[in-house]
Amino acid sequence: MNKFVEEIKEVLKKEVDLSTEEIEKIIEIPPEEKLGDYAFPCFLLAKSLKKPPDRIASDLSKKLKPKALIKEIYSIGPYVNFRVDSRKLAEFVLKEIFEKDKSYGRDETGKGKTIVIDFSSPNIAKPFGIGHLRTTVLGNSLYRIFEYLGYGCVSINHLGDWGTQFGKLIVAYKRWGDEKKLSSDPIITLFDLYVKFHQEAEKEPELEEEARSWFKKLEQGEKEAEGIWQRFKDYSLKEFEKVYRMLEISFDCYTGESFYNKYMDNTIEEIQKKGLAEISQDALVVDLEKYNLPVCLLRKKDEATLYATRDITAAIYRYNTYKFHKLLYVVGSAQKLHFQQVFKVLELMGYPWAKDLVHVDFGWIKFEKKIMSTRKGDVIFLEDVLNKSVELAKDIIKKKNPDLENKDKVAFDVGIGAVVFTDLSTKRQKDINFDWDEVLDFEGQTGPYVQYTHARLCSLLRKYQKPVKRKVDFSLFSLEEEHSIIKKLEDFPKKIKMSAETYEPAVLCSYLLDLSGVFNRFYQKQRIITDDENATDARILLVKSVKTVIELGLSLLGIKAPERM
């Protein structure tokens, strides 16, 4: 509980017709120090009071009386601004971080609620391409953030292990497959076969019909088709695990598309019983035109099921299994229409929890301004990108700090962290143009910059050579830069919640860059360890607090915080 916000709520409650919850939700920290420590925007009151927001702010600021923790109340434009006792603020924030340590910002918001997160979901028999980086690291970070806020989290890797593409792969394997190649380098071999199928199908269109026929056999459980498919799946999972180990990501379950085959008939029967399905051009569909959506295709004329049928079935299964508070689908923006259709069908089926389904969409990732496509054969393997980042990080470390111990381990943590941070620091609905020079810049707006700041903080603590004191003279924090750092530290719990509410780890990335920047500017101007023992003790407590928060923030993003770099 933030006692400064509590006091502001108490002061405001007597004068505004809003609940304490509504007041707390809109209290914000101004972007500049000169604007105060907290601000209350008056836009929400304009309609009921029939006055412009700046007039409301001016009137309110004159009525409100400062209390024990608040030193000054004044208005600037449409905001009522509050300046608090800086010594008391320093004591409150730094003591709380010291006492809570690795639990600072943790709360019980989600107690008793389950969040199910469907993410990563690579396609079996295809390489784990760079295109799957965003869903993988975004889903993992959201899992960590929601878990930190007390939610029970379930991570699901909804493998793309079903669909007509397996008919294509079986045809390609039977026509051009080489068993020796498949066993020695399975994913590259399968990838090449998939690309070759599309090249050959342009010259020989009947291959598409042959592929549909093999997928039909697979759906019917034909032994040969099932055996080939299972081998493809086993090979693929083994390869995917290499990438997940590098990223230190694990899943609670790997229930892919094929898992739901046994439930599909029940789903279709239920949709038909509720009078939602109809036949259109020999296919089974749900007409959604009155909701400004195209028809949702459930089953094609050859009886083959589609993504929508499987996703509707999966959602019902997941609710019955987990009774989720929210079910998040961390899937690219290109699938927006698909999820609108799936969610609408579930709503029409009468499931009240359909409103709790969320498509956490995101943009493309591009190298040299090209969007990757497996079908065209120009996919960039994620494992290669991660390995290259580690190698480049190692080269930089050898130049900057050749005597560093555990260079390989640090290079690994920095290289992986650089790729993850680049992804997460871009607002998820924006596309990413991947540039190595920017990604690994130790002085730019990057993961290595935040990690380097953490290593610098650790170095200061090592130089101090004593246990950090909790009780210091808080009145010694008299500089504006120190107050800025303390204000930034206080904002950390709110940023975690904001990241969860918006499904946007970029909020945390931006926060960590700001915190690193404000500390580094202070570090460049002021000495931390001096002959003044009391001042040193106070500043070391500040250093320890910044270190704790950066390490926590990086952890919530799925990134390591090296102690030496």
CB 414 within 8 A of CB 562: yes
Residue 270, classified by CB atoms within 10 Å of its CB into exposed (0-12), middle (13-18) or buried (19+), is middle
CB 544 within 8 A of CB 98: yes
CA atoms of 522 and 457, how far apart (whole Å): 12
CA atoms of 119 and 165, how far apart (whole Å): 21
DSSP H/E element including 277: strand 277-280
Q: What are phi and psi of 246, to 5 degrees?
A: -65, -40
Amino acid letter for position 374: T
CA atoms of 371 and 432, how far apart (whole Å): 10
The DSSP string of 39-92 is: EEE-GGGHHHHTS-HHHHHHHHHHH----SSEEEEEEETTEEEEEE-HHHHHHH
DSSP H/E element including 193: helix 186-203
| DSSP assigned state of 259 | G
Q: What is the mean pLDDT of the chain?
A: 93
What count of residues does the chain have?
565
Ordered domains of the chain (ranges, CATH): 3-84 (3.30.1360.70)
Reduced to 3 states, what is the DSSP secondary structure of residue 366? strand
How many Cα atoms sit within 13 Å of 148 on the Cβ side?
A: 27
pLDDT tens-digit readout, 378-405? 678 889 889 999 999 999 999 999 999 9
- pLDDT at residue 378, rounded to an integer: 63
CA atoms of 31 and 40, how far apart (whole Å): 13
Q: 84-88, 179-183, 363-367: which has the highest mean pLDDT?
A: 84-88
Tell me which residue of 196, 205, 202 sits closest to 176, measured CA to CA: 196
pLDDT tens-digit readout, 446-491? 999 999 999 999 999 999 999 999 999 999 999 999 999 999 999 9
Residue matched to tokens 């001042």: 535
The DSSP string of 197-236 is: HHHHHHH-THHHHHHHHHHHHHHTT-HHHHHHHHHHHHHH
- 248 pLDDT above the threshold of 60: yes
Amino acid letter for position 333: S
- pLDDT at residue 381, rounded to an integer: 85
Amino acid letter for position 353: W
- pLDDT at residue 556, rounded to an integer: 98
- pLDDT at residue 440, rounded to an integer: 80
Q: 18-27, 93-102, 213-222, 229-238: which has the highest mean pLDDT?
A: 93-102
- pLDDT at residue 321, rounded to an integer: 98
- pLDDT at residue 375, rounded to an integer: 47
pLDDT-above-90 percentage for the chain: 81
CB 153 within 8 A of CB 143: yes
What is the sign of the dihedral through the CA atoms of 62, 65, 70 and 72?
Answer: positive
pLDDT tens-digit readout, 110-162? 999 999 999 999 999 888 888 899 999 999 999 999 999 999 999 999 999 98
Please tell me the least confidently modeled range out of 180-189, 246-255, 306-315: 180-189
- 179 pLDDT above the threshold of 90: no
- 371 pLDDT above the threshold of 80: no
Q: What predicted TM-score, i.e. pTM, was given to this entire model?
A: 0.92
- 436 pLDDT above the threshold of 90: no
CB 235 within 8 A of CB 186: yes
Give the count of beta carbons closer than 10 Å to the beta carbon of residue 212: 16
pLDDT-above-70 percentage for the chain: 97
pLDDT tens-digit readout, 78-114? 999 999 999 999 999 999 999 999 999 999 999 999 9
Compute the average pLDDT of residues 208-229: 93
Compute the average pLDDT of residues 502-524: 98
CA distances from 155 to 195, 263, 331, 494 (A): 31, 21, 14, 24
Give the count of beta carbons closer than 10 Å to the beta carbon of residue 312: 27
The alpha carbon of residue 106 and the mean position of all alpha carbons in its chain are separated, in whole angstroms, by 17
The alpha carbon of residue 75 and the mean position of all alpha carbons in its chain are separated, in whole angstroms, by 37
Residue 234, classified by CB atoms within 10 Å of its CB into exposed (0-12), middle (13-18) or buried (19+), is exposed
pLDDT tens-digit readout, 295-316? 999 988 766 668 899 999 999 9
The DSSP string of 428-470 is: TTS-EEE-HHHHT-TTSSSHHHHHHHHHHHHHHHHHH-SPPPS
- pLDDT at residue 365, rounded to an integer: 86
| DSSP assigned state of 289 | G
CA distances from 19 to 12, 15, 57 (A): 10, 11, 18
Please enumerate in sequence order all residues whose Cβ is within 8 A of that of 292, keeping only pairs 6 or more positions apart, or say none.
Answer: none
